[in-house]
């Protein structure tokens, strides 16, 4: 597998980073290694990588990196076995998968390839209704010049509403696509819709409630 400088590994801990880089199999590949958060974000923002592995400390330190780069490239989080809350938090923030530290190179490469394969199988990254565009990869809506950011749940919900434009989408259907939180309640769906209403209104769109049928995205 030859990818060039396309896989970013952000590991602030020097000991862990050296141990992983010492593996001959992975050292022979062209990975981008970063210990500095600003440097890692710069690599993600300028398009030099296609996927990032963000290594977290046991206390969850490093989760802020998902906010900085998670809308630019697919992210995997890596954390110690005891750091369950950190891994779950990472997935809720949009990480595509996770690794248990310490991990071997075979597992790392297999999971990275899986994420890249899923990305290639994703629906087209840009959808449009009138002048309003939904950028799935960057989780944002706008007109191409100005953008409004969306959370992972908002992006998934808006994508379905846009796909079914002007036709009601039920809460059960919304739950089925909100893979960022598989246990989402009816109240949580209503919170997502409430936030989306405010964001859609800024782009002359409205989300109308149809009693017993669900929600529909319509021109304001």
Together in a domain, 163 and 203:
yes
Tokens of 12: 């602030």
DSSP-assigned states of every residue in 148-188: EE--HHHHHHHHHHHHTTTS-B-HHHHHHH-TT-TT--HHH
User: Model-level pTM?
Assistant: 0.52
Res 125: pLDDT: 54
3-state class percentages of the chain: helix first, strand second, coil last, to nearest 5: 40, 25, 35
Q: Is residue 2 part of a domain?
A: no
Together in a domain, 117 and 140:
no
Res 24: pLDDT: 52
Together in a domain, 131 and 200:
yes
| CATH number of the domain encompassing residue 78 | 3.40.50.2300
Total structural domains within the chain: 2
Together in a domain, 78 and 149:
no
Together in a domain, 114 and 136:
no
Res 173: pLDDT: 84
Q: Is residue 137 part of a domain?
A: yes
Together in a domain, 147 and 112:
no
Instruction: Convert the pLDDT of each residue in 28-56 to its tens digit.
Output: 556 888 898 888 888 877 666 778 899 98
Q: Which domain holds residue 206?
A: 126-219
Instruction: Convert the pLDDT of each residue in 175-195 to its tens digit.
Output: 877 755 456 788 888 999 999
Percent of the chain with pLDDT over 90: 15
């Amino acid at each position: 597998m030859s990818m060039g400088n396309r896989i970013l590994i952000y590991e602030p801990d020097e000991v862990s980073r050296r141990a992983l880089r010492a593996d001959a199999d992975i050292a022979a590949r062209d990975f981008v290694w970063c210990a500095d958060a600003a440097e890692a974000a710069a690599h993600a923002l300028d398009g030099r990588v296609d996927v990032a592995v963000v290594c977290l400390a046991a206390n969850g330190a490093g989760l802020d990196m998902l906010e900085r780069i998670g809308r630019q490239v697919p992210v995997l989080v890596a954390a110690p076995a005891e750091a369950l809350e950190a891994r779950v938090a990472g997935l809720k923030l949009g990480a595509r998968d996770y690794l248990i530290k310490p991990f071997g190179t075979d597992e790392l490469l297999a999971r990275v390839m899986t994420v890249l394969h899923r990305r290639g199988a994703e629906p087209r990254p840009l959808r449009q209704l009138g002048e309003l565009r939904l950028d799935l990869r960057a989780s944002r809506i706008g007109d191409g010049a100005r953008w409004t950011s969306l959370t992972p749940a908002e992006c998934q919900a808006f994508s379905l509403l846009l796909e079914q434009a002007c036709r009601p989408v039920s809460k059960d259907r919304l739950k089925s696509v909100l893979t960022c939180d598989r246990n989402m309640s009816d109240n949580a769906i209503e919170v997502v819709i409430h936030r989306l209403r405010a964001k859609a209104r800024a782009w002359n769109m409205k989300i109308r409630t149809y009693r017993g049928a669900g929600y529909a995205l319509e021109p304001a």
